Amino acid sequence: MGFFFEVVLSKATFTSPGKTEKTTSWTASFDTGAAWASLAFQAHKLGWAAHGMGGFDHEAARRVIKASEEYRLEAVVAIGKRGERASLPERLQANEKPNARRPLTETVFEGELR
């Protein structure tokens, strides 16, 4: 069974074409989220599973990949081939079913932020 992890980073500054000074990128996290989604779709299309993780040791990951403070560590993604359910510990086997999704009406709404 093969799997690997990747750390997804965004760069919070950029230099516009023709300019020399750096400026803040307000969409860096948004753009990186779109890139991760594309990766997950492509992985799925190729028969791989990709799972995002926000709960990781950010400081340790930053140290390991030697990322400067200019980079924001957005997530870690585990990519691998789906294995047999029976190979999981029993308590994890119980999780291997579709989970309940929050109704869309709780996420998308008109007017002011609640």
Ligand X SMILES: Cc1cc2nc3c(=O)[nH]c(=O)nc-3n(C[C@H](O)[C@H](O)[C@H](O)COP(=O)(O)O)c2cc1C
When the beta carbons of 2 and 54 are compared against ligand X, the nearer one is: 54
* Residue 52 sits in the site that holds ligand X (CB under 6 A): yes
Site for ligand X in 82-101 (CB under 6 A): 99
In the complex, the smallest distance separating the C-beta of residue 26 from ligand X, rounded to whole angstroms, is: 19
**Residues in contact with ligand X, shown as a per-residue x/- string from 30 to 49 under the rule CB under 6 A:** --------------------
Instruction: For residue 30, give both structure tokens.
Output: 């948004």
Q: Are the C-beta atoms of 66 and 107 separated by less than 8 Å?
A: no
> Taken in order 54, 55, 59, 60, is the CA torsion positive or negative?
negative
Whole-angstrom Cα distance, residue 61 to residue 103?
Answer: 34
Give the binding site for ligand X (CB under 6 A): 51-55, 75, 99
